[in-house]
Amino acid sequence: MSDPQFLPFCRPTLEAEEIATVVESLQSGWITTGPKVLRFEEMWRERLKVPHAVALNSATAGLHVAMAGLDIGPGDEVITTSMTWPSTVNMTEVLGAKIVFADVLPGTLLIDPVDVARKLTPRTKAVVPVHYAGAPADLDALSRLVTGSGAVLIEDAAHAAGTQYKGRETGSEQHTAIFSFHPIKNITTGEGGVVTTRDDKLAERMKRMRWHGVGKDSWARYGKSATPRYEVVEPGWKYNMLDLQAGLGCEQMKKLERFNAARTTLAAHYDRLLAEVAEVQPLARPDYDHLHAWHLYVVQLDLEALAIDRDAFIGEMGKRGIGTGLHFTPVHLHAFYREKYGFKLGDLPVTEAAGECILSLPLYPLLTPEDLKRVVAAIKDVVHTHKACRVA
């Protein structure tokens, strides 16, 4: 049984429409990839005014088919950030390309274009910025770097449904972008992802690769105007999204603006409440024009002012009934990457320092202002109880 007093770190907003669409799919007897997936893809195309949106069962699958579809593989290098979920990096690795990390900018924790410039080589095939927490990476600066270099920009937009960079919505630009619909994301399909692109050839390949490398999915094989024959054009995976998931996604898409507005209001409320807590400060916002999707509200602890570390701080919040998150522990310091590449502390100083002091506070539309006050009261109590003794 869950503790009714415990405030979870995240909770999706699932309303009558989401329940109705899943029930409808169940009753229809068609639960796998079908018309709702087609509609979900159409909604993304319409929203971003792009010719292609390819729905998948996760953003990780999206990263995989996007990179594979661009022929990223042995001999290639991919530059990304270590301040990310492992998928961004793992998908490069499983394709046999070399991972190269650029550091992030202090304050925003977005990839640092100056460090990307230092790490570009003739072997760089892609640069993959993460729109961390829902704030956009500096796309103009990154685009300038890759233009003419032979590399492409692939946006990891897992956090960025509804984010805008200089008035342009994430995924609507020239670059391929990957969104996630995991339950903690701004909109959810249970699990799921979509890749948006203007690249016709890539879109066709990704559609094939998400379904065994066969040119047709189940709907095309068993639907009304279907033909049952199939042929593997190149080996692929089984990454298709279900109609059960896409129905949820279609309903959630209609609510994205409302959800993001609620997140924005809550983030502003946190800003005000935390202004009094010097030891726990929110991330900085990018100084260019942008619209933040507020996927995460990440704070940095002033560890010198505290007698406990970040992990103990998270434990103390839990004891006070507040769930928190950790986004992220730097990928380059995970066992596999340390051992394979010899990465070590000191390689990415800004990422590493942040990796020790960040935590994410609950942020979702179902939170009330009273919930936020509870979170900040717990923060103040932990800070007060665990202040570092300073020797004068």
Ligand X SMILES: Cc1ncc(COP(=O)(O)O)c(C=O)c1O
Stretch that binds ligand X, among 94-102, 103-111, 153-161, 269-277 (CB under 6 A): 153-161
Check if 49 is active-site. no
Q: How far apart are CA 242 and CA 37, in angstroms?
A: 7
What 3-state DSSP class applies to 114? helix
- Complex with ligand X: residue 193 or 247, whichever CB lies closer: 193
| Close Cβ partners of 51 (under 8 Å, ≥ 6 residues apart) | 45, 197, 198, 200, 203
Query: Within 60-89, which residues bind ligand X (CB under 6 A)?
Result: 60, 84-85, 87-88
How far apart are CB 383 and ligand X at their closest, in Å? 28
State which of residues 99, 127, 130, 266 lies at the interface with ligand X (CB under 6 A): 130
How far apart are CB 381 and ligand X at their closest, in Å? 29
State which of residues 180, 240, 245, 300 lies at the interface with ligand X (CB under 6 A): 180
C-alpha neighbours within 13 Å on the C-beta side of residue 345: 4
3-state secondary structure 20-72: HHHHHHHHHCCCCCCHHHHHHHHHHHHHHCCCEEEEECCHHHHHHHHHHHCCC
Stretch that binds ligand X, among 7-15, 105-113, 154-162, 375-383 (CB under 6 A): 154-162
Q: Does 126 bind ligand X (CB under 6 A)?
A: no
Q: How far apart are CA 115 and CA 137, in angstroms?
A: 13
Compute how many other C-beta atoms are within 10 angstroms of the C-beta atom of residue 269: 16
Q: Does 163 bind ligand X (CB under 6 A)?
A: no
Q: Which of the residues 185, 201, 319, 373 is marked catalytic?
A: 185
C-alpha neighbours within 13 Å on the C-beta side of residue 112: 18
State which of residues 171, 193, 247, 362 lies at the interface with ligand X (CB under 6 A): 193
The site for ligand X, by CB under 6 A, has a size of 14
- Complex with ligand X: residue 84 or 252, whichever CB lies closer: 84
Q: How far apart are CA 89 and CA 140, in angstroms?
A: 23
Q: Does 156 bind ligand X (CB under 6 A)?
A: yes
How far apart are CB 156 and ligand X at their closest, in Å? 5
Active-site residue set: 185
Tell me which residues touch ligand X (CB under 6 A). Answer: 58-60, 84-85, 87-88, 130, 156, 158-159, 180, 182, 193
